[in-house]
Structure 1
Amino acid sequence: MQPSPPEKGVIWEELFFDLAFVFALTQFSRMLHGDHSWAGVGRVLLLFVTVYWAWAGTTIYTDQRNVDNALDRAGVFALGLGSLLLALMIPDAYGERGLLFAGVYLAMRVLLAALALGTPHGWRSPVLRAYGSGLVAGPLQLAGGLLHGTTRIVLWSIAVLVDVVGTTVTRRTLAQVRVRPLHYTHRYGLLIILVLGESVIQVGMVAVDEPLTVARLIAIIIGYALVCALWWAYFIYGVRTFRQAVQRTAEQADIRRSVMVYGHLLFSFAIIMIAVGLAEVVTDPIEPLGAGEASMLFGGAALFLTTFAQTHWQIHRQVAWRRISAGVLCLVLLPLAPLMPALAALAILLAVVAGVSVLEEIILHRHPAASRVRANEDEIGGDPGTADAGPVVGN
């Protein structure tokens, strides 16, 4: 196992690369807004995993390389262009632009492989061997782009499965890669910031074209508070624990795979679902939500909370009962949401999501030892403002 590379901060090139990814997020929200059915969610998820995997591959590459030379910098810019083109193809990916979508994805994976070949290890690069699944998934995507209908969906599903399962199959190779814990978790934290920001944009885009009634203004305020509650849950009770797990565990590859890659895939998609639900509430806050809209809002919150429980189990082997209970409560409330005004349903959801963090704070302050642990962690050199109660309060 190679030692962890020297730490570094997130670089400007990576932030520039993320700009194109933000555009892709807006396209996924648009697709979900247009089709709330299970089939619609499945089609969006299929595309989202593909784009997310390209982002994750770029993240591991920039973590392993000091992108301070013209070639690597140009490579990151080219990958950003690929993300922009993927985003442009998303609305009609199951139609006329399917082949273009698949072609751009394959080109991005080939470019990543070519950049990895430029590392000192060349063909033996653990990054290339571990994330080379894209060179298998890419041609499958391309074959699907040449076909239509169900056949395309089946081939693209297999391609996504190859990418997702590939990190498990190549577990031994991944174990040879040690990431920079602060940089790596910062990248995924920035991903969550981007998705949360897209939620705010969704609310604003809906509200700006509608009359600003009292009910709609209240819906905007509660919706923004819900986004803040999601931020609080992740950045106060999550991100520091994730960084410490990546930094301290001997099985770093397992934590990266289960908590960072898979976990943040679910975190991100859950927030996109919530954003779609928020847009529906702001559109008509007095009328009840439809079943599909309620599923987006309450189902997304349940997915977010239970993903927290899953990551907590992966790190600590402890059941996060409060997160699980809150997630189950969201599912229990889901069929009740269409029976009340959308504004009332949103307020109840905010109480559930924010209530978990409030409960964590109460428990934390009742245990002085927990407070001392968090204070000590803040002094050790973690991210400002991302203190985490982690293993003490049980997430």
Structure 2
Amino acid sequence: METEKKVAWSELFFDLVLVFAVTQVSALLHHDHGWSGTGRAVIAFVPIYWVWVGNTVYSNTHDAERPLNRIALFAAGLCGLMMALALPEAFGDRGLLFAGAYFCARLLLAALAHVPGRRPTPTPAVLSVLISGPLLLAGGVLDGGARIGLWALAAAVDLAAPRLTRRNMMRLDFESGHLAERFGLFVMIALGESIVAVGAPVASAPELGAGSLTAVAVAFTLVCSLWWVYFHLAASAVRHGLETAAVRADVARQVLSYGHLSLIASVIAVAVGMAEAVAHPGQRLPLGVAALLYGGCALYLATFGYTRWHLFRSWSVTRLVAAAVTLALLPPAALLPSLGALALLTALVTVLNLTELALVRTRGGLPGGPAPTTEPAPTP
């Protein structure tokens, strides 16, 4: 019997860079809550995410514990660290550092995956070296709108790369359990960053008032509820979907590469909103902050509708309804004190989890899901 591939210690060490990078992306949103700030944060996050995805897929299809692969992963981690260091001024004086570190990370991966004696085949890493990397480098030497435009185009190229190289990606033999666990760990990193974002400002405050402590407790409950949404049912569903898919590369692209980009970005948005709410529990949230908190949560829940469709060709009705209700509650939440807005959102996600738990127990699955066999069908 074939032994299941385990996550290597070197991969977990590589993830430590992502902890810092996610923190830096959150800092960008803290600095500017508006549409322009959100757009810049997304443009900066996509290359970081793509560096992680590329190395994760390579480690999934190769032996990550080989000395050469370990060293390459450490080198990619150094590139990711440089990108994270550049993030606070990525759209200012550190643009070239950000772009150069990304280009080096992708060039390293393309070289590592290349088989000597064979012609290079189109892969996302190769497209990054040929197109998106040079676009980032060109943007790094420009300023203002020109940089933003070129970097947005580079992000679009990276997002399209898995679809454009689908034929070659289909040849990869993915290890389903390992790949599902790796992306689940990235979600865990984002959730962990949300706890840091909530706790750090309060810990450094001169006094710990009852309002702040209550807000921290409510925010932590919200993080627990978001964890439950993913890890109670969805994590096993992703693995099940990968194992049973006719074309694993398609599921990996749609559910993992794209779906988890949305999930992680939404958690970062929620973390920024929670941090602002905890910092000023008795004041109203600015509309931009409320939009990050409620809009990020709505996107997080709605993404499960997208992933469920690509896994099982059915809709996650409960989560799509909860996402719609979350958006509907945004206007009245903006009129409440921050603690009240945070408590209202926490109550909504908690009710969703209790509802789904009851449905699974009484029906053996959620509405719109595949019929259970011997066990309730996993539900993303």
TM range (shorter): over 0.9
Equivalent positions of 1:162-201 (< 5 A) are: 162-201=157-196
Q: Indicate the SS of the match to 1:390.
A: coil
Q: Indicate the SS of the match to 2:126.
A: coil
- In the other structure, the counterpart of 2:83 is 86
> For the structure 1 residues 186 and 328, does the alpha-carbon distance in structure 2 shift closer, same or farther, using more than 3 Å as the test?
same
Pairing 1:47–2:44 present: yes
> For the structure 1 residues 88 and 336, does the alpha-carbon distance in structure 2 shift closer, same or farther, using more than 3 Å as the test?
same
Q: Shift of the alpha carbon at 1:69? A: 2.4
- In the other structure, the counterpart of 2:127 is 133
Tell whether the 8 Å contact from 1:216 to 1:285 is kept in structure 2 after alignment.
yes
- In the other structure, the counterpart of 1:258 is 254
Tell whether the 8 Å contact from 2:198 to 2:216 is kept in structure 1 after alignment.
yes
Q: Indicate the SS of the match to 1:94.
A: coil
**Cα deviation digits, residues 315-355 of structure 1 (max 9, x gap):** 11112221111111111111111211111111110111121
For 2:356 and 2:374, the matched residues in 1 are separated by: 18
> For the structure 1 residues 8 and 134, does the alpha-carbon distance in structure 2 shift closer, same or farther, using more than 3 Å as the test?
same
TM-score, length of structure 2 as denominator length? 0.94
Residue type of the alignment partner of 1:181: S
Pairing 1:298–2:307 present: no
Tell whether the 8 Å contact from 2:259 to 2:307 is kept in structure 1 after alignment.
yes
TM-score, length of structure 1 as denominator length? 0.90
Q: Shift of the alpha carbon at 1:368? A: 5.1
RMSD: 1.9
Q: Shift of the alpha carbon at 1:30? A: 0.8
Runs of 4+ in structure 1 off by over 3 angstroms are 119-125, 373-377
- In the other structure, the counterpart of 2:317 is 321
- In the other structure, the counterpart of 2:346 is 350
Q: Indicate the SS of the match to 2:123.
A: helix
Residue type of the alignment partner of 1:334: L
Segments of structure 2 that go 5 or more residues without pairing to the other structure are none
Q: Indicate the SS of the match to 1:182.
A: helix
Q: Shift of the alpha carbon at 1:220? A: 0.6
- In the other structure, the counterpart of 2:30 is 33
For 2:283 and 2:257, the matched residues in 1 are separated by: 38
Tell whether the 8 Å contact from 1:189 to 1:239 is kept in structure 2 after alignment.
yes
**Cα deviation digits, residues 246-272 of structure 1 (max 9, x gap):** 111112111111100000000000000
Residue type of the alignment partner of 2:31: G
- In the other structure, the counterpart of 2:92 is 95
**Paired residue for 1:338, among 293, 317, 334?**
334
Q: Shift of the alpha carbon at 1:367? A: 2.2
Equivalent positions of 1:1-395 (< 5 A) are: 7-117=4-114, 123=119, 129-135=123-129, 136-210=131-205, 211-367=207-363, 389-390=377-378
For 1:158 and 1:369, the matched residues in 2 are separated by: 42
Aligned length: 373
**Cα deviation digits, residues 185-223 of structure 1 (max 9, x gap):** 110010011000000011111111222111111111110
Q: Shift of the alpha carbon at 1:233? A: 0.6
